[in-house]
Amino acid sequence: MSTKSTEGITPKQCPFCEEEPVTRHNVTFCRNASCGLIEIDSVEEWNTRPIEDKLKEVNAELLELLEDILEWDGILEHSKIRIKAAIKNGDHRK
Ligand SMILES: [Zn+2]
């Protein structure tokens, strides 16, 4: 039994129980009998996950921002070292 649809699209895991779904005659359904998710007419519809997609989009954006923060933190740390060295070398207040 193939998990791919006739269009060759692999359906995502069941959003409720995470089981691999089954696609037969263009109908996709969860193979877990106790899951309770009813069959869906097309694999495209089965794979439509607007909340999950939005969360992935937000997550990617947050990861980019974290990378920026890490980069700036590195630049700031490098600047601190240079400033400290400049102060040490040029401190004529003593
Ligand atoms: Zn399920």
Residues 45-89 pLDDT 10s: 999 999 999 999 999 999 999 999 989 988 888 889 998 998 888
| Counted domains in the chain | 2
Model pTM score = 0.56
The yes-or-no verdict on residue 94 having pLDDT over 70 is: no
Q: How far is the CA of 52 from the centre of ligand 1 (A)?
A: 16
Question: Residues, the chain, total?
Answer: 94
Domain span including residue 54: 49-94
Q: How far is the CA of 37 from the centre of ligand 1 (A)?
A: 6
Residues 2 and 43 in one domain: yes
- What number of helices (H) and strands (E) belong to the chain? 2, 2
Residues 79 and 36 in one domain: no
Residues 93 and 78 in one domain: yes
Angle at 60 between CA 55 and CA 62, to 5 degrees: 95
Q: How far is the CA of 76 from the centre of ligand 1 (A)?
A: 49
Three-state DSSP state, 10: coil
Q: How far is the CA of 22 from the centre of ligand 1 (A)?
A: 10
Q: pLDDT tens for residues 1-38?
A: 446 665 688 899 998 899 999 888 888 999 898 997 77
Residues 36 and 58 in one domain: no
Integer Cα distance of 44 and 49 in angstroms: 10
Residues 1 and 42 in one domain: yes
Q: How far is the CA of 16 from the centre of ligand 1 (A)?
A: 5
Integer Cα distance of 56 and 22 in angstroms: 25
Q: What are the structure tokens assigned to 30, written together?
A: 């969860």
Q: What is the largest CA-CA distance in the chain?
A: 86
Residue 6 carries which DSSP code? T
Q: How far is the CA of 25 from the centre of ligand 1 (A)?
A: 19
